[in-house]
């Protein structure tokens, strides 16, 4: 059994220990909770790497990519654990760090730079999904929606093209008429460029997240138990969304009223099987590696819609991915070991060729 295989099966520590650089976008000292979460994630991954017997070195990245390259050359890592989510607070710079690693020829964990770019840019991700017939809600650019109502029925939701973690998403994101939609686009375009916003058909229904972790077959990740986000006691008219407050404002109504459950009724087995199949199509379509989470809504007719594909989802201890992994009986150490083992296998060139 090779070292890597032994590591994957959990039967041995890697031999020799690896030097792993943990790469992340340095958060602004005045960062909001979503950005500051990067530090929690870095700490959790560092802890797991050390427990696995590796050496871990933090490499924060800013727009000074030359400095990051110099730091990486000095560390001479065997592998980079890529936790970069945004650079200098900008989601649209998310792919710069992994692209730099490609340029330097350093192997790294999780999705390749191209997959990160294409899944993070939500309109491109939707174009690619729709192009192969995968169900994603209809959409239109925010600029077009300002001129005339979207060419599909409301309600609508205004979303950020690049930002994740529900940044900027408040209740007003969901609009039922053209006036409310325009007002929300104007409000949001005060903090994000207009072309970084888009409008999507609002799917008023259940929300489920499916998480996947690499196995020794890059085409066949292990599915974690599906999670459902519940909307408890939402007053009539309050949009049922997992917006910024639901994710980050601990103690707020939205935070408390949107618990995650794993005990999904047995009658939903066909739905869960459909979501699993769709998620695996996304995994192959975008060339995902390591770990991923796909977010769905299910409309009142029972049809699933892909909201987004999260390459390299958050793996902080309280994040959805780790909750699902824990439910599958995996520790943080198991998750990190499997992500590292997957990265050590390298990128199979064959997967980049031919049709999906």
Ligand X SMILES: Nc1ncnc2c1ncn2[C@@H]1O[C@H](COP(=O)(O)OP(=O)(O)O)[C@@H](O)[C@H]1O
Which span (41-49, 65-73, 116-124, 287-295) binds Mg ion, by CB under 5 A?
A: 287-295
- Establish if 295 lies at the interface with ligand X (CB under 6 A): yes
Spell out, one character per residue from 124 to 163, where the chain touches ligand X: x when CB under 6 A holds, - when not: -------------x-------------------x-x----
242 binds ligand X (CB under 6 A): yes
Q: Is 307 in the site for ligand X (CB under 6 A)?
A: yes
Cis upstream peptide for 155 (omega within 30°): yes
Say how far apart CA 339 and CA 323 lie, in whole Å. 16
Q: How far apart are CA 204 and CA 156, in angstroms?
A: 10
Q: Decide if 306 contacts 129 (C-beta within 8 A).
A: yes
Q: Is 181 in the site for ligand X (CB under 6 A)?
A: no
38 binds, among Mg ion, ligand X, none (CB under 5 to 8 A by kind): none
Does residue 295 bind Mg ion (CB under 5 A)? Answer: yes
* Residue 203 touches ligand X, criterion: CB under 6 A: yes
Q: Cα–Cα distances in Å, from 265 out to 52, 226, 344?
A: 37, 11, 38
- Token pair in block for residue 210: 């499916």
What is the dihedral sign for C-alpha 212, 216, 218, 219? Answer: negative
Take residue 316 and report the two structure tokens written for it.
Answer: 């902080």
Q: Give the whole-angstrom CA distance, residue 196 versus residue 47.
A: 36
Min dist. Cβ of residue 262 to Mg ion (A):
18
Cβ-closest position to ligand X: 164
Binding-site partner at residue 137 among ligand X, Mg ion, none, CB < 5 to 8 Å by type: ligand X
Would you count residue 227 as binding ligand X (CB under 6 A)? no
Minimal distance in Å, beta carbon 299 to ligand X?
Answer: 9
Q: Is 118 in the site for ligand X (CB under 6 A)?
A: no
For 302-340, the DSSP string reads S-EEEEEEEES---STTSHHHHHHHHTT--HHHHHHHHH
If one asks whether residue 37 binds ligand X (CB under 6 A), the answer comes out as no
- Is residue 85 near ligand X by the rule CB under 6 A? no
CA distance 100 to 68: 9
Say how far apart CA 41 and CA 51 lie, in whole Å: 15
Instruction: Classify residue 87 by its DSSP letter.
Output: B
Provide, rounded to whole angstroms, the least separation between the CB of residue 202 and Mg ion: 14
Chain residues binding ligand X by CB under 6 A are 137, 157, 159, 164-166, 169, 200-203, 207, 241-242, 295, 297, 307-308
Chain residues binding Mg ion by CB under 5 A are 295
């Amino acid at each position: 059994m090779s070292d890597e295989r032994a590591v994957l099966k959990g039967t041995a520590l890697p031999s020799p220990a690896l030097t792993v650089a943990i790469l992340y976008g340095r958060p602004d000292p005045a960062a909001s909770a979503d950005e500051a979460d990067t530090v929690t994630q870095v700490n959790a991954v560092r802890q797991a790497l050390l427990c696995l017997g590796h050496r871990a070195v933090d490499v924060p990245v800013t727009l000074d990519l030359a400095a990051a390259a110099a730091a990486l050359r000095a560390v001479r890592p065997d592998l980079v654990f890529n936790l970069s989510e945004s650079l200098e607070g900008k989601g649209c710079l998310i792919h710069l760090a992994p692209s730099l690693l490609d340029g330097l020829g350093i192997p790294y964990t999780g999705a390749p730079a191209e997959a990160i770019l294409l899944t993070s840019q939500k309109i491109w991700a939707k174009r690619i999904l729709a192009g192969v017939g995968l169900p994603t809600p209809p959409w239109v650019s925010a600029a077009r929606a300002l001129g005339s109502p979207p060419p599909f029925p409301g309600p609508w939701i205004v979303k950020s093209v690049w930002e994740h973690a529900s940044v900027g998403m408040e209740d007003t994101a969901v609009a039922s008429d053209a006036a409310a939609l325009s007002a929300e686009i104007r409000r949001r375009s005060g903090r994000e460029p207009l072309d970084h916003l888009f409008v999507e058909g609002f799917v008023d229904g259940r929300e489920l997240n499916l998480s996947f972790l690499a196995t020794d077959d890059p085409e066949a990740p292990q599915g974690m138990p599906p999670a459902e986000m519940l909307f408890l006691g939402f007053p009539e008219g309050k949009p049922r969304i997992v917006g910024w407050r639901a994710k980050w404002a601990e103690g707020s109504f939205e935070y408390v009223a949107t618990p995650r459950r794993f005990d999904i009724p047995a009658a939903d087995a066909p739905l869960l099987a459909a979501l699993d199949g769709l998620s695996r199509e996304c995994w192959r379509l975008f060339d995902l590696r390591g770990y991923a989470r796909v977010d769905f809504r299910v409309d009142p007719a029972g049809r699933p819609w892909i909201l987004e594909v999260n390459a390299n989802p958050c793996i902080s201890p309280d994040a959805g991915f780790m909750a699902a992994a824990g439910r599958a009986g995996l520790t943080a150490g198991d998750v990190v070991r499997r992500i590292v083992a997957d990265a050590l296998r390298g990128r199979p060139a064959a997967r980049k060729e031919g049709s999906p």
